[in-house]
Structure formats: C-alpha cells, structure tokens
Amino acid sequence: MRKEVPIVICAAAALIYVLSTFINPTTSPFLGKLKGDLDTWYLLVYAVAFAVGLINLAQIHLRKVTQQRQDWQFSIVLLGFMATTLIFGIFTTGKGPVTDFLYQYFFVNPRATMYSILVFYISSAAYRAFRIKTFEASILLVAAVIMMLGQAPIGEVIWSQIPKMSAWILNYPNAAGMRGITIAATLGGVATALRIVLGIERGHLGGGGE
Amino acid sequence: MIAPNQTWTLIFEAAFSIGLIIMITRSRKGLKVPAIRKVSGLEALDEAIGRATELGQPVHYSPGIGDFQNSQTLASFAILGYVARMCAKYDTRLITTNRNPVVYSVTEEIVHQAFVAEGRSDSFVADDVRFMSDDQFAYASGVLGIMAREHVATNVMMGAFWAESLIFAEAGAISGAIQIAGTANTHQIPFFVAACDYALIGEELYAASAYLSKDPVLIGNLVGQDFGKIFGVVIILIGTIMATMGNNSLSALMKK
C-alpha cells in the first residue's frame, strides 16, 4: 500500500495534466480548474517542504556552532543572516527599507559575483578541453578559434571569410547536433514520464529503481 | 475538442506511448530484449565511488536545480538510489546537496532507504543530505564550499543544470575529484564534456535507471524509445527532402 497509493495518485494527476494540455480549455473548463487546483496544491507542498528545508539548514549549522567544528564562525554568519531576513520578511511582509537593503546589498551583489566567476571557470575549462591530445580535441580547438575570431572584429580584418565560417559552424553542424540531442532527450523525457505513471520506475518514491 | 496546434503532438505522443507500452509488455512476457550499448559514464560510477572509498573521502551528489516535476530530476533519483546503495555498501560518506526543498525531501528519503536496504541504517547521517538554498547561486556557492572544505573525492552531478554547471564542474576539477555529470540541457552539455571526466549526454541520463538496474522491463522501455527516435529520423528525412524540393506540406501539417 505504501507504494501503490502514491503510484495511483501520480497516475491520476498525470492524466489530468495530459488531458488539460491536449483538450481545448473552452470545451472543458472543469479540467482547467482541476489543473489549477493541482498547481495550488504543489505550491502548498513546496511551502511546507521549504520550512522542512530551513529546519534542516538551521539544524546543520547550529550543530556546527555548538560543536565548534571547522569553520564554525561562517555558520554564525549564515544563521544570523537567515534569522534577520526571516524576521524582517515576516514583520514587513517582504517590503520596506531594511528588506530592500538586505536584498540589494547582501543578496544581489554576491549573486552577481558568483555569476561572474564563470568567466574564469570558462577559461580554465577551455584550456583543459583545448589541449590537443586527440583528433577530436584538435577539431574542437580549430572550431573554437574560428568561432572566437568570427565573433570579434579582428576576425574579419584577418580574413573576410572568417565571420561566414563562424556563422556556418553555428547554424549547421552545431544546430544539427543540438537539435538531435534535444529530440532524443525529449523522447527520453516522455519515456521516463510514462515509466513513472505506469509505476515501473519508483526512484522518486524513495526506494531506488523498483 | 483538441487544443489549437496540439493535434499532431497528441498523435505522436500517443503513438510513441503505445509503442513503449508494447515493448514493456513484450519484456514482461520474457521475450528477448536487445542488449544496450555501453555507457562509459555509468560504467565509471562504481570505479568513482571505489576511489572515494579508498581515499576515505566523501562522494558529492547533486540532483541539479530542476523542480520536482522536471523529468531530468526524476531520472536523477534513480541514479542517486544506485550511488547511495553503493556508498552504503562500502561505508563511504555521501553528501547530497539540494536546491529545491521538495527535491530535498525526496532525496533524503532515497538516501535513507538505500542505507536501510543495504543494512546500514546506522551509517545514514541525515545532516549529509542538505538543503542549501532555493536561490541558484547561493546553492552554487554552498556546493563550492562543501567541495573545498570536505575534500570531495567523487562528484556526481545528474539532472537539470543551468549556469551553475561549470561552477560545480570546475570546483570539482580544482579539488581533484573524479567527476561524472549528466544533463539534457543542451546549453550545459559542452561545459560538462569539457570539465568532467565522464559526461552523460541528453537521453543517456534517462537511460540510466534501465542501465544500472539491468531490469528487462526498463530495457524494453529503452528499446521502445529507440524505435521512437528511428521514426523521428525518418519523418525528418522525408520532411527535409520534401522541403528541398519546394514542398512544405509536411511541415505545414505538423504545425496543426
């Protein structure tokens, strides 16, 4: 029963979603309402799960502080900011100068910094990938050089055909490969969904494959 | 009756699903199932976990940042189940990090069940299944910290990834971890291919549960999936030839 009931619920919910996608909403408004209700229920589940997640986060870091494990000072910072954001979020309903300040200066900037790190990581990953060890790596390097020169003004100065070559690589071999992967992955996604709906794959129920 | 522009999608999806069900039924009856090709990324999972065991360092698993409804996240659960079982078997520490709170609840249960199934429920550490943050880059910075502090020996990333994919993969490479990653997000695949030791490309992620379990029913489903692909290729070829000859009726028909 522990496995069967969730499978039946999952199959019923999946059927509602599939039917509401393919059946014209004007012919069956009830189905649309049912799907809307399911979406609302998911939000409720998400909210409850979020609280569970917060408790997990707080527990881990509180334990780290009380046991004074390695780098426990950082956990104090995390817990402090978590509590401050939570308190001001609750009492000001997410609006007001303090919440704005916290968001603007303690959230947006670190976020942008993390994103910026990608620039350096792209360089180091490219360095490793472009080292000519194999025939494939050589093709990758040649294509990458053409692409980079094609995107920069210097490419056209070196040879007027470079931007055209770059566009050709992007629009034909690259697009064909990407579309092939996308089509296969989409079919894989449908097959996975069907396995879950039929109860063949039960990984999401916590028990591994079967 | 049928929603606008959905007729052919419905026909193809229905035909594809029927094909899959036929293949699953055949497999259940015990009819011969074709062998599936070797997927090096999945073959390497045992070796990667073995390395972490030998070094006495943890394995890190990320199910990506997709929601619970994302099919890549669902496919990732099967791989997590396998990785957790292997870690439980060899008494290797497994750190699972999550961005989505619903996914976190599920991964905690998967890891717990895997340890129970291997008779190692006492080795399960609830603190090692962690909810980091529901913000993409806060999650990324948390994972970066774990990789650096905990000296992760094996980094497994399976699921839906976006800009954080390269951040994780490079952090793993810097810490010297053996890395196996898989995603169906085409814009992130090149990063995984460039930065990881093994990469599952697109549909290989969805094939993982069948591959790892060796279950004939799941393998039958894979075979059905391949027939769907062959059908897709045939339609694309016919459409391309027709369009080259100036006849766009097939592509016009598909838009209905």
Tell me whether residue B252 is in a domain. Answer: yes
| Residue A1 domain-assigned (yes or no) | no
Residues B124, B224: one domain? no
Residue A46 domain flag:
no
* Number of domains chain B is built from: 2
Q: Does B176 share its domain with B108? A: yes
Q: What is the pLDDT of residue A207?
A: 58
Residue A105 lies in a domain: no
Q: Which are the contacts of A203, defined by CB distance < 8 A and separation ≥ 6? A: A209, B74, B77, B78, B80, B81, B110, B209
Instruction: Report yes or no on B168 lying in a domain.
Output: yes
Residue B26 lies in a domain: no
Q: Same domain for B56 and B140?
A: yes
Q: Is residue A102 part of a domain?
A: no
Domain that holds residue B58: 40-211
Specify the pLDDT at position A80. Answer: 95
Interface test with A, best of B72, B79, B150, B170 (most A CBs within 10 A): B170
SS3 B151: coil
HSE (side-chain half, CA atoms, 13 Å) at A204: 22
Q: Is residue B18 part of a domain?
A: no
pLDDT of B37 strictly over 70: yes
DSSP string, B56-81: T--EEEEEES--TT-HHHHHHHHHHH
Judge whether B3 lies within some domain: no
Neighbouring residues of A210: CB distance < 8 A, sequence distance ≥ 6 = A200, A202, B213, B215
CA atoms of B75 and A203, how far apart (whole Å): 8
A110 contacts in B (CB within 8 Å)?
137-138, 141
Mark whether B166 and B51 lie in a shared domain: yes
Contact status of A77 with chain B (Cβ, < 8 Å): no
Q: Is the pLDDT of residue A91 over 70?
A: yes
The whole-number average pLDDT for the span B90-108 is: 96
Owning domain of residue A210: 134-210
Q: What is the model's pLDDT at position B110?
A: 95
Average pLDDT, rounded, for chain B: 93
Mean pLDDT of B14-21: 92
Residues B155 and B95: their CA atoms lie apart, in Å, by: 10
Pair (B150, B252) in one structural domain: no
Asked if the model's pLDDT at residue A135 lies above 90, the reply is no
Determine the Cα–Cα distance for residues A34 and A40; give it in Å rounded to an integer: 10
**Pairing status of strand B94-98 against strand B59-64:** parallel
B251 lies in the same domain as B189: no
Using 50, 70 and 90 to split pLDDT, how confident is the model at B137?
very high
Query: Is the pLDDT reported for residue B102 higher than 60?
Result: yes
pLDDT band with cut points at 50, 70 and 90 for residue A206: low
Percent of chain B with pLDDT over 90: 78
The answer, yes or no, to whether residue A210 has pLDDT greater than 70, is no
B118 and B238 assigned to the same domain? no
Q: How far apart are CA A4 and CA B233, in angstroms?
A: 37
Model pTM above 0.95: no
CB B162 within 8 A of CB B65: yes
Q: Which of residues 29-68 of A touch B (CB under 8 A)?
A: 42, 45-46, 49-50, 52-54, 56-57, 59-60, 63
